[in-house]
Chains A and B, each alone.
Chain A
Amino acid sequence: MLNKKLAIIDLSKEKVKIEETPDSLRKKLLGGRGLNIYYLNKYLKSGAEPLSPDNVLIFGAGLLTGTLTPSSSRYNVSAKSPETGFLGDANCGGFFGPELRYAGFDRLIILGKAKKPSYLYLCDGKIEIRDAGPYWSKDTYEVQQSLRNDLGPCESAVCGVAGEKLVRFACVRTGVKNAAGRCGLGAVMGSKNLKAVVAQGTGGIKIKHPDQMQKLAEEIKKYLFSSKISPLLGKLGTPLLYEVSNAIGAIRTKNSQLNAWSDSLNAEEIEKYVEKMISCSSCMMHCRHRNIFGGEGPEYTAVGMFGANIGLENPAQVIQLNNLANELGLDISSSGTILAWVFELYERGIINKEKTGGLELKFGDFELAQKLLRMISRREGFGDMLAESTQAVKIFGESSRDYLIAVKNLPQSDPHDVRYIKAFALGIATASRGADHLRSRPTLEIFSKLPPEVKERIYGTKITDPTILDEKEKAVYFSEHIFAAVDSLGICKFICHGFNSPHFLDYSYFKKLIKAATGWEFSEKDLEETGRRVIDLERIFNAREGLTKEDDTLPKRYFDDPMPLKISKGHHVDRVQFASALARYYQLRDWTEEGMLKAERIKELESIK
């Protein structure tokens, strides 16, 4: 199990150092997101420019990644984000994470900048820095296929031309649609002249108690498929969430000017374009769509961002935009948010044809969206401005900020308009990487029929009304911890307790899986504490990079503009109530009133070795 190494690769000096990860560290932070933030704090100099050689890029597999543990395909990519200036961290499925481990490594810490386009080749315990000349200027599909043609079966994490061109929301892509999507980590690859990390391995992951792990996998399969939602997730995937949100009027529509959109994007409509549902490594849920237009997806995020948010109703067009963004290596959450933002700015006259280079911007224009995505990926014309993501406020003027749906400079990921379900609002305000639902989305808030006692057992609050902020800090606190733990284990949130269901794998399952894999004894409390440790370490990182209490906030529109449609009509987030919820959240976290860690806690975390 623990026979995989840590590699520190200095691209400037062309040196590779291979080390062990101390068990003491693994016991405190497991792996994946947890160990990544530990090493990021250790290696990154405060104030480093994200697109300079000073940034540190880390690829890290979870403690259970690549094992028989169901849905254990995940790894994290971390760096300082060029999109936000704060923590950049993204979790990714597919087959690269497991292959990284089969090639002999748990974690790569990449420093400096290569003199010329390069890629890392990892094979059975060895690492080579190789010339990527032949792969440069290729988009994400072509480069991966070329690598397979040249090297044989391998798994790669790559950036597209968008990454080379330093588009601030270029993603790290593996396979057809899996991405370490958020925070512009593909641009960090590009800035380091690093086109790809290629893994090709034959080494297995040793398991301490093989029989126990086999039995657990069988038990988990039975448990997952005893739930009604599992077959649905495997049939429809995440797009099933679209209808749930749209029904209550909580779908971000036309840059959140509206909050409900067409039924033509419901999961049953999307399903008509699906050829087959497929899986990531080790996954029993198979929620990935292989679509008939040659790509994979769409996820719920793509349905929302390339559908409702930019005013498109036709599912075929939404899927084609999804495929294009995937191939170009652009983060769909940021792409759809930024497009909708500039469409509204144009409608309002805040930007005009002088800025857009003669383009007429409007919602609901498929060809325009296609063209803009291409232009962004090449930084051509107006695309060069959009490639700056939220930092384009500097170009469009301060008034443009009022219409920007972002937190901590990160465009919102979730197509869910959080003005109705208040726990979601608090969640995106506090999330360590900015406006993102995958750090804390307390999904159970959306289930209106959930018995209060179930909610109390999980979130520790009896309050059933989703539209008020009272006690919602508890739901966010619970969710942030379990998601941080699951990200550190390398397991997908799809089977994590509280993400899609009030059931599924909780700390009691995690501790059994860890014991089977490593022999280590953890209690449920230890695992929750690991989650808390990760959140605190991420806060230390962000504070060091200049984050303050003022950054734990929401887009102006969510405070000031009431929602216009359906049962959400009239709802918005009250500033005073929000400030009070945030204060309660800090208190629950045992942070100061300014939202910072207390000195003793910092000392305690600094002693982790």
Chain B
Amino acid sequence: MKYLYVYPELCTGCRECSLACSLTKFGECNPKKAAISVVRDEFERFEYPIICLHCSDALCQKFCPQNAYYPENGILKWDKNKCIKCRFCATVCPYAAITIMDNEIIKCDLCNGDPKCVKVCSTQAIRYEEETHELTDQRNTLAKKVLGK
């Protein structure tokens, strides 16, 4: 199963990911109306992309009084017709990965297996990868670091 992984150290803060997301979902360019958010402050000197992790024991799903959230093939989806826009999901998400804007609940659905944000990231700060690949990469990096390779 492939998921989105973010690497804040590679993020340059350009927000192309958010713009691609808002463009795909709403036909407009608006970095604040996107399922991926880049928190940044040039004075505090950080860039940090935030995206839904599709938790297997997700709080948004657990606490949604309408049962609007449901997993489907590993993707945590949201049913617009059940949603009453109470915004509780956004409040309980520990990663603040659900966006509310213009009375819309905006949550990543991985663009049905073809996430647009990844395609416009120029530094590979967001990647769409198999869980195993991601972990293998992390382990290799760690091993090299420890061994000084």
Binding site for B on A (CB under 8 A): 66-68, 70, 98, 102, 141, 144-145, 148, 175-176, 202-207, 210, 213-214, 217-218, 221, 224-225, 234, 275-286, 290, 296
Contact = CB atoms under 8 A, between A and B. Distances in A.
A67 B19 contact: yes
Given A275-B45, A286-B123, 14 more contacts: A67-B19, A98-B31, A102-B32, A202-B101, A207-B27, A207-B28, A210-B27, A214-B116, A278-B12, A281-B31, A282-B14, A283-B12, A283-B14, A285-B122
Contacts of A281: 14-15, 31
B26 A141 contact: no
Contacts of A217: 16, 20, 119-120
B30 A203 contact: yes
Contacts of B90: none
Nearest to A285: B122
A68 B20 contact: yes
B106 to A, nearest CB: 12
A152 to B, nearest CB: 12
22 contacts: A67-B29, A68-B20, A68-B120, A70-B16, A102-B32, A148-B41, A148-B43, A175-B42, A202-B30, A205-B29, A207-B27, A207-B28, A207-B29, A214-B24, A214-B120, A278-B13, A279-B12, A282-B14, A282-B16, A283-B12, A283-B16, A286-B122
Q: Which of B12, B20, B45, B123 has the most CB of A within 10 A?
A: B12
B20 to A, nearest CB: 6
A286 B12 contact: yes
Nearest to B28: A204
B28 A277 contact: no
Contacts of A296: 42
A284 B42 contact: no
A290 B40 CA distance: 13
B120 A202 contact: no
A213 B22 CA distance: 12
Given A68-B23, A214-B20, A286-B122, A206 B28 contact: yes
A141 B9 CA distance: 24
Contacts of A206: 27-28
Contacts of B19: 67-68, 282
Contacts of A278: 12-13, 42, 47
A204 B30 contact: yes
Interface in B95-139: 101-102, 116, 119-120, 122-123
B26 A218 contact: no
B33 interface: yes
A205 B43 contact: no
Contacts of A282: 14-16, 19
B29 A68 contact: yes
Given A204-B28, A221-B120, A279-B14, A213 B23 contact: yes
Contacts of A221: 119-120, 122
Contacts of B20: 68, 214, 217
Interface in B27-84: 27-33, 41-43, 45, 47
B21 to A, nearest CB: 10
Contacts of B45: 275, 290
Contacts of A67: 19, 29
A298 B32 CA distance: 30
Contacts of A218: 119-120
A276 B102 CA distance: 35
Nearest to B16: A282
Given A68-B16, A214-B116, A280-B14, A202 B32 contact: yes
Contacts of B9: 276
A145 B122 contact: no
B86 to A, nearest CB: 20
A322 to B, nearest CB: 15
A98 B43 CA distance: 18
B23 A207 contact: yes
A91 B16 CA distance: 21
Contacts of B41: 148
Nearest to A178: B42
Contacts of B23: 68, 207, 210, 213-214
Q: Could you say which of B28, B32, B102, B116 has the most chain A C-beta atoms within 10 Å of its C-beta?
A: B28
A98 B31 CA distance: 10
B14 A284 contact: yes
Contacts of B122: 221, 224-225, 234, 284-286
